[in-house]
A and B are shown apart, each in its own frame.
Chain A
Amino acid sequence: MKRARDAWNRFWFEPGPAAALGICRVLFFGSLLLWQLRHDFSPWGAYSSVFWMPIWLFDTFSVPLLPASTIAAVQMIWKAALFFAAIGLFTRVAMVVAFVLGTYLMGLPHNFGQTQHFDTLVVFICGALAVSRAADAWSVDAWRAARRHPSAWPRPDDGEYTWPIRFVWVAMSMIFCAAGISKLRHSGLEWIFSDNLALLLQRQQYHISDGEPWTNWGIWVAAHPWVARGMAASSVAIETLFPLSLFSRHARRILVPAGLLFLVGIRALMGPTFEQFMLCYVFWIPWRTVLSRTGARVVSVSERRVQVDTRTADAPARPLPLRS
């Protein structure tokens, strides 16, 4: 039991640099804002009630379909919150608003006849970041706080900067794995060894997807059964084995880029728009290493603090003020 608890704590709360999480926050909210900037949710509010087929979340909590003008106002606040969350100004409030309003707005289209799955990960990440300390670096808030309390900044490495990143890893792994399990549960190995994928790739050319495939290469793949079956086998393997990337560095080096290529492949050959899901890959980048190699300020603040303390060896180390 103790070993399991230690392993759990080591995985989630291994001390990490605030900068890594801060960079992820900037890139995640920044790219999400850019992606959503031109997206208008308000037309959903103008449809008749016959189109309203509420999904579990909206049905259970009686979340209403708001009028178009109200949705327009809500999405303006949401996009402003994404901006503030990205630059790190009033970050806590911004991230909570981004999560709450984002859940409503991103969930809204799924109440109109079909639940699509491009944005669930985005919703979960917004939720995790909303309760994280992602603003302790690379944010206006941190810069202002450092000016007020220079001794307390930059923040030392802490598990608080690790768990949100690992949360994304686990969330992405569970999503990929669940998709793989669904295929095996509903179709078994027939999903791989039949003409299923070939037919699927051909069918997607008939303007039936939420996005047009980037290419018509799916036709070529479908015409070569062993290529199609190889792709099907790779798809199921990547999806079901993806959780290995949580525990093995070697598996991570293969499965994480393979998962990204898989999403790009779906978009290119079949059409479904997984761009939002792809944005979440910023959390897989080893920012500590990247910053070290690019000569940026050393990420490991605790080491830096030791150096400072060495220079002023006679002065007692000042305790760091706790943040709520």
Chain B
Amino acid sequence: MPKSKKETPPPAAEDSAPEGAPPKRRATAESMASRQREISVSEFFTKNRHLLGFDNPAKALLTTIKEAVDNSLDACEEAGILPDILVEIHETTAPARTATKPAKPLEGAAPAAPAGASRFRVVVEDNGPGIVKAQIPKIFAKLLYGSKFHRLKQSRGQQGIGISAAGLYGQLTTGKPVVITSKTAKGRPAFRIHLRIDTKRNQPDVFSEETIDWAKDHGTRVEIELVAAYRGGRTGVREYLEQTVVANPHMSLAYVSPKGERLEFPRVTSELPREAQEIKPHPHGVELGMLHTMLSDAAGESVKDVLVASFSRVSPAVAAEICKVAHVSAKTPADRIQGEDLERLHKALGEVKVMAPPATAVVPIGEALLIEGLKRRFSRAEFYASTTRPPSVYRGNPFVVEVGLAFGGDLPVDEPADIMRFANRVPLQYQPKACAISESVYQTNWRGYDLQQPKGGLPVAPLAVAVHLASVWVPFTSEAKEAVAHYDELLREMKLAVQECGRKLAAHIRARAHLQREEKRRSLFERYIPEVASAISAILDVPKDKIEKPFFAALPNFVRFADEPAAPPDGGGAPPAVASPSPSDAPRRSPPPPVKGKGKGRATPRGEQLELL
């Protein structure tokens, strides 16, 4: 990362020279050159840790856990293992500085713990495939090292910067090394390695390593000690974990909070998400620079061949068409395409009609499982619904939006709806206002679904909405991965998904209101029947019960759909009030339930209705 020669002379100070005199030279190219040197990524991080989500002690704790858990989940899924994850946070009294061997004096070390912050030891342990011993130092103690950056495949982590940044943060604030324990298979040894990052060289520094006995068959355990603050609320660790549990129904989680509370979320499905396919870039999303690199790397091949080989959905015919549109001969050697040719080719790539990228690259949670996920967190809601949109594309990247919601029950009635944002199953907790996902919820007219919504605000209802964006490349607004950027295509799909789900909710709310009306009617008649019966009994000299009986028997003929034949909630024959997702693989919005022949009995057994209310 070449640092610019930015030591530009400061503007001439007014008193430094008489007017008109040429400014005095202060540095020569040579003297400047002596100061120009490479900056290590670690050094860059030290100064710019806010970029990666370590701006304050509370956020640092969250980011550390998040990076570790994300990595664990990615690893488990890639290996085809159902993840069992343990997260522990222990508050450690800051030991006397001498207790540990003081690390090298740390440049940029955090000032003594800021107000409200103290020391924590974070432990994240998984049952994943483990890590080969030789790779451990690089993965955990070298920034920008990983397996995910160089491929187009849906995963939680993207750059390979997170976990090592967390380790670095710990090291900078406490001087403590990162401790990694890993085991790759039963019968193999487990290694425990203490690591530091040499911030100058961006190289791992193995502090100590040992072989230990570990009861686990395989897995990885990360321990990082850091100065941080434990907070509750929307941006807290617990919120993160609970949301993660929603988006990952196949994950089993145990959490031990700093106060020693233990939370357990056993998995609700043993179905692993389908493995995401790695794909080649799609011609519609490629940037000029990237195209240039692709072409120059393929010396000796023709443009056409390179296009076919490097891009997704580009057949020889399509490649020929692209070349034609770009006025470039298909046989031109790839590395010779430069300048205007390159620009025309880039333009042509975006213009020619190409099939959408394969949707297999994107793995949604699925409608049924999203509801199962929601139930883990909102177990006592009254209604659940979900919608998974068909795959779509922005800038050549396939993506899927899905929305799930929980409504009613013990959710707070008078508060704005709870919005959970997920990108590739990772909860986004910061910067809601900057995020396209929030935007899609705000822009939806919830009043149309019979909810209250202050102008320009969130609906005020016992409602929790989860919006998940799954994509091979999620466009975040910053490296801290806090908010999704506003791409029109994304926003449109999100809104469609929210609306589709909203309609399901509206159908439920209307059906519920109808039932309540019915219930009111029923109780009215039930109150009056004894009166009518005793009057008729007095008139006819017939015992009262002989009259009540036929009246009560006739009642069900009139209480159910007497007013209007209210359509049953979306999703048809599902049991009342329980979520009615369309089958999880349904390609499109579920077709309206067949109305014809719907013998939705007038006489529904009583208990069934009361159950809901």
Partners in one complex: no
Interface residues of B (CB under 8 A from A): none
